[in-house]
Amino acid sequence: MDVVVRTEGGAVRGESREGCSVFRGIPYAAPLEGARRFRPPAPARCWYGVRDARSFGSSVPQPVLWHPGDDPECLTVNVWTPDVTRSGLPVLVWIHGGACLGGTAATTDFDGAAFAAAGIVLVTLNYRVGYEGFGWVEDAPANRGVLDQIAALRWVRDNIGAFGGDPDAVTLIGQSAGASSIAGLITADGAPGLFRRGIAQSPGKIFVPADEARAVSAMITAQLDVRPTADALAAVPSETIHAVQMAPVAVMAGEPGRWTHPNAPYSLSIDGELFDAPPWSRAGQRASGIGRELVCGFTTDEARVFTVDADLSATDPADTARACGLDASAVGDYRAGNPGSTDEDLHALVLSDALFRIPALWCAEAHADAGRTTYLYEFAWPSPARDGALRACHGLDVPFTFTTPDGPLAAGLIGREVPPDFPALSTAMRDAFAAFAATGDPGWPRFDSTGRVSRTWRTPPAQHRDVLAASRRIWRRHQPA
C-alpha cells in the first residue's frame, strides 16, 4: 500500500510494509552539477505534485556503485518509520563508511525495518566522497562530505516530524569513515542543535592537518593537469578523477612516517573551521558539546578484512609498527603480550590497533575525561566465513546492527548461511542502540579512564574491564613524543 507524506520540499509517496513505512531517494540538497560538485551543498529544489519515493536514488560519484550519466540528484535520504501518524519517536541517522572514497545508502545492508519495529525512525543518507567530498579546493570549504551530512541533518530537523520522529531526539550512528565524522562532530560541537547523541562504530585515524590534505590533493590535480578550483575541476569528469586518485597512496607508502593517513587519498581535514583537532585531542573537545552522549566501539580483529588475501610471508611486524607511527621496539611488547602469535598475526594486530582500535579507545577516553557520558564496546563475535580467517573483522558488526544477514555485506563477511546465534546477538545489539537513542543508556555501565568498563558483543554478551590494556600501554610507551 502506498502512503503519502508532505515534506517542506513537496509531497512524497512511499510504501507501507508490515510494521513500517519506507520512503527512499528524497533529495536534501541540490543536484551535483557543474561547479556545484565541489562547492558546499545547496538547498534542494522543491517540486509540485507527489514525488515517487519508492526507489533508492543514485549513489554519489565514485569508482563503483556509480556510472557516468547517473542522476546528479544523488544527495538523498531514505526513511523507515513505524507509523507516519505517530509523533515524538526517537530518530537514528545512519552515516555509512567507505574510507571517504565510496559507499552508499542505496543498499539493503542498511534496511531500517528492524529499527522501525523497535519504535525508531531510521534515516540513511548519501554524502559526497572522493575528490568531490574531501579533496582540497582553493575556493571551497574542506570536508564537503561532512557538510553534506550536516545539510541532511537540517533536513531531518525540518521534516522528520512528518514521519513520526522527534527532531529533538536525533542520534547519529555510523561506521568507519561515518563513525569518524560522528566522533568529530560530537566532540567539536559540530552541527549544534541538530543531534543529541552519537554511536561511532570503528572510528578511524583519518583526521589530517590541512596542509597534508592539500599536498595529497595536489598530487591528484597534477596528474589531471588542472587548477584546484571549483570551476576548473567542474570541467573534469568524475571518472577521470577516479582513474588517478590512488596515485598519492603509492607516494605516501614509500615514506609512511611523513603522513598521518598514508593508506588512502582522502581524509577528514583539520581545517580550523569544522574541525580544530582530532576528536581524541583535548584541543578537539569543546565544552559547549558537553551534553552529547557517545557510544564508541571497535571490532577485535579490525584489519583482518584487509590482510586476509595479502601475501604476508615476507612481512616484518617491526616495519608495520614504524609505518603506523610506533618505534620498532614496540613489536617486542606486542610479542610478549600475545605469545604464540605469528608475524602475520602481529602485522594484523598492529594494523587493527593503529587504524581503528586505539583511535576508538582514544575517542572514548577523551570524551569521558571531558565529563561527557561515554560507553565503550568491543565486537568480538568470530565470523565463520573464509574458514574463520576473518575473525571479528572491520564491518562485521554492521549486519548485526541492522539485522540484515542476507545483505551483500553479510554475504562476504559472514557467509551465505545465517549462523544460529546471529538473531539473538543482533537483537541484543539493536535493542541496546535503540535504548541509547531513546534514553541515552544502552544498558551497560558508563566508561571512564579509571574503571574502563565495556560491553563485549559475542555469544553471550559480557562485560569486561580494560579490554585493550596491553595495546593501550604499548601505544602510550612507544609513540614518538
Active site residues: 176, 302, 394
* 462: nearest Cα among 477, 443, 447, 449: 443
Which residues of 153-288 form beta strands (DSSP E)?
Answer: 165-175, 197-201, 207-209, 268-270
222 CB contacts (<8 Å, ≥6 apart)? none
Q: Helix 358-369 to helix 177-187 angle, to the nearest 10 degrees?
A: 20
Cis peptide preceding 209, ω within 30 of 0: no
Q: Report which secondary-structure segment, H or E, holds 473.
A: helix 469-478
13 CB contacts (<8 Å, ≥6 apart)? 2, 3, 4, 50, 51, 52, 53, 54
Question: Cell 554519489 sits at which residue?
Answer: 60
- In the chain, the amino acid numbered 326 is L
- In the chain, the amino acid numbered 11 is A
- Structure-block grid coordinates of residue 348: 594484523
Q: What CA–CA distance (Å, rounded) separates 49 from 256?
A: 55
43 CB contacts (<8 Å, ≥6 apart)? 29, 30
Q: What CA–CA distance (Å, rounded) separates 156 from 24?
A: 14
